[in-house]
């Protein structure tokens, strides 16, 4: 019966996929005919403003699966538009010296998705924006409403105009994990946990109703550390005393335009049409016509390719949860990444490798599979690690042997700990009249069942495996970072740290972004001048991207993007927790993952 339903559903899905594919191909052919019918290549006019419209934008580490615009937008649907951080900063670096670009205009709001648009990536983005300002080109911004992420970026601007009916929504940072312990208890789903490290709380949503004291402690310290970095950077850029900014945030949270203007967070209060009129006058355009401008995406498409053929640095993006096997879109598959690292090791055209990590971890077996290849790779050519917004647990596991580790101050890292989780549905099944009986050849022969709780002896087996894996984790970090194992244990125990603390604790070498990591890798690889770059995973041709979309299905972001407001937010939280359970596919059932679903907004 199960096979019948699986076959039936599979047939329906295949039919639906065929219909969608046919529609996409028809629309794609139409788009091709339209685009082929004429039109001049886009030109950047002298004196144009580079327009950064943040609406629907998600700053990612890895390049998008498919190129932006045209057929790529058909595949992406309503999902946020990804812009890779390296590409974004390269565009701003180029704009700083491009005589055609008069300045930069920023508007709109980010649409964070997955592990994108974290403060570590935004730190690199704002630094590149500050470079444009330092080149003597004005950076201007207009917002109907501005959140913490947008303010963090726009704070470097010369002018920030806020709508008279707008707000600066900057109450501080918060993380609000969802807990299912009471629901599982009510439904009769049993959960048994094995873990090493008192701060290892990734399983807490399934066994508790609230944060444990240990996790409350570490999250409070972490958020305070990250908020201090963000607040101080904003205050410094706006010329405000940190004490005054904190007082304003505490007093209002949702800061009115008048208070924001008085404090110096914004330079003026005005309407969008007034800002556009000023830009028209500045660029010499008549009323009713758009001011001289070029969209950021169009400008990026015109950028010259980096490098001069003197050597190649490969940039490998480990963005997403680490899973066993090949993984899918948004996941780091241990097998597929190991194959790529092995290929890079044997590729004589690649002189150095940068591993860019933006991952909360996941499967311990998959992380070890990748680390093995990274260690073999580093024995043959330089491997530099660049930590993005998250490089924790399994994400740190794969980072430990980098020749040099760069981190941003706001990177969430550490979480050196291991856990296992065992579910059973005995009570749930009994409530609907379903029972099991069993015959087995030994005391532990049935230990992988979900039909009953694990016995104390069986649970002890899983605990030994978790403890053994944790010990190996400590050994990896101690060897990779040249630290005493006892010292690693002291700073491990599953505890998360900010990038600032990671440097102090010798878990990372220095504060810096992806550009610095690439430059350092090129230096270690003895590459003179700007290196050529090879990226994995990279942007695919449309046909391959279409195949990937059907292979892995539509992303949750695309499916649920139309559900707005509090209901949509809660749906996405539940969806992400279900996805996380689905990614618990380690063959040994042991995981090195960030405590809880730590999304900081």
* Contact by Cβ (8 Å): 64, 105: no
Catalytic residue selected from 109, 393, 498, 555: 393
* Cα 208 to Cα 206: distance, rounded to the nearest angstrom: 6
* Cα 569 to Cα 560: distance, rounded to the nearest angstrom: 9
* Cα 432 to Cα 12: distance, rounded to the nearest angstrom: 29
* Contact by Cβ (8 Å): 417, 196: yes
* Contact by Cβ (8 Å): 561, 112: no
Which residues, 6+ apart, have CB-to-CB distance to 420 below 8 Å? Answer: 193, 194, 195, 462, 463, 465, 466, 589, 590, 591
* Cα 271 to Cα 62: distance, rounded to the nearest angstrom: 36
* Cα 91 to Cα 125: distance, rounded to the nearest angstrom: 10
Percent of residues in the chain assigned helix, strand, coil, to nearest 5: 45, 20, 35
Active site annotation includes 7 = no
In the 3-class helix/strand/coil scheme, how is 409-443 assigned residue by residue?
CCCEEECCCEEEEEEECHHHHHCCCCCCCCCCCCC
* Cα 72 to Cα 398: distance, rounded to the nearest angstrom: 32
Sign of CA dihedral 210, 212, 217, 222: negative
* Cα 310 to Cα 534: distance, rounded to the nearest angstrom: 13
Structure tokens belonging to residue 227: 């908020």
Catalytic residue selected from 111, 113, 149, 200: 200
Chain centroid offset of residue 63 CA: 12
Active site annotation includes 200 = yes
Nearest to 388 by CA among 338, 459, 317: 317
Structure tokens belonging to residue 392: 């924790």
* Cα 273 to Cα 291: distance, rounded to the nearest angstrom: 12
Active site residues: 200, 393
């Amino acid at each position: 019966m199960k096979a019948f339903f699986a076959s039936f559903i599979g047939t329906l899905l295949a039919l639906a996929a065929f219909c969608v594919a046919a529609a996409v191909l028809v629309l794609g052919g139409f788009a091709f005919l339209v685009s082929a019918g004429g039109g001049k290549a886009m030109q950047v006019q002298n004196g144009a403003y580079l327009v950064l419209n943040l609406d629907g934008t998600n700053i990612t580490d890895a390049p998008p699966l498919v190129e932006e615009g045209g057929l790529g937008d058909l595949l992406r649907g309503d999902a946020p538009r990804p812009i890779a951080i390296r590409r974004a900063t390269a565009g701003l670096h180029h704009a700083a010296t491009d005589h055609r670009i008069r300045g930069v205009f920023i508007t709109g709001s980010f649409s964070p998705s997955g592990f994108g648009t974290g403060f570590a990536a935004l730190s690199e983005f704002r630094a590149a924006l500050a470079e444009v300002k330092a080149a003597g080109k004005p950076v201007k911004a207009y917002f109907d409403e501005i959140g913490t992420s947008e303010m963090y970026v726009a704070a470097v601007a010369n002018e920030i105009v806020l709508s008279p009916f707008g707000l600066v929504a900057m109450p501080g940072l918060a993380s609000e994990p969802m807990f299912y312990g009471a629901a599982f208890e009510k439904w009769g789903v049993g959960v048994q946990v094995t873990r090493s490290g008192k701060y290892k709380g990734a399983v807490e949503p399934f066994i508790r109703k609230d944060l444990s004291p240990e996790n409350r402690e570490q999250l409070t310290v972490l958020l305070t550390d990250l908020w201090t970095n963000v607040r101080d950077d904003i205050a410094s850029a706006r010329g405000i005393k940190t004490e005054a900014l904190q007082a304003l945030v505490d007093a209002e949270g949702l800061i009115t335009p008048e208070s924001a203007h008085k404090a110096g967070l914004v330079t003026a209060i005005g309407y969008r049409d007034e800002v556009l009129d000023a830009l028209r006058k500045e660029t010499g355009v008549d009323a009713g016509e758009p001011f001289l401008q070029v969209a950021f995406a169009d400008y990026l498409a015109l950028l010259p390719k980096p490098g001069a053929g003197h050597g190649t640095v490969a940039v490998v993006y480990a963005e997403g949860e680490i899973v066993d096997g090949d993984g899918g879109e948004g996941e780091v598959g241990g097998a597929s990444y190991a194959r790529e690292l092995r290929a890079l090791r044997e590729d004589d055209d690649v002189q150095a490798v940068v591993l860019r990590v933006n991952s909360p971890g996941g499967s311990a077996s998959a992380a070890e599979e990748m680390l093995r290849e990274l260690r073999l790779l580093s024995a043959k050519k330089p491997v530099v690690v660049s930590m993005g917004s998250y490089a924790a647990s399994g994400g740190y596991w794969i980072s430990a042997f980098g020749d040099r580790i760069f981190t941003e101050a706001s990177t969430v890292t550490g979480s050196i700990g291991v856990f296992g989780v065992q579910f059973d549905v005995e009570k749930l099944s009994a409530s609907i009249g379903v029972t099991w009986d069993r015959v087995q050849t030994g005391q532990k022969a049935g230990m992988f069942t979900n039909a009953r709780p694990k016995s104390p002896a069986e649970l002890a087996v899983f605990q030994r495996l978790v403890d053994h894996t944790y010990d190996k984790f400590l050994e990896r970090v101690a060897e990779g970072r040249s630290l005493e194992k006892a010292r690693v244990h002291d700073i491990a125990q599953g505890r998360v740290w900010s990038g600032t603390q990671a440097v102090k604790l010798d878990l990372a070498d220095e504060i810096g972004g992806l550009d610095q990591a690439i430059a350092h890798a090129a230096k270690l690889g003895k590459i003179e001048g700007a290196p050529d770059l090879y990226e994995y995973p990279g942007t695919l041709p449309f046909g391959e991207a279409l195949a990937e979309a059907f292979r892995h299905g539509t992303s949750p972001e695309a499916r649920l993007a139309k559900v707005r407001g509090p209901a949509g937010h809660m749906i996405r939280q539940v969806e992400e927790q279900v996805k996380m359970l689905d990614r618990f596919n380690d063959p040994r059932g042991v995981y090195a993952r960030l405590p809880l679903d730590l999304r900081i907004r």
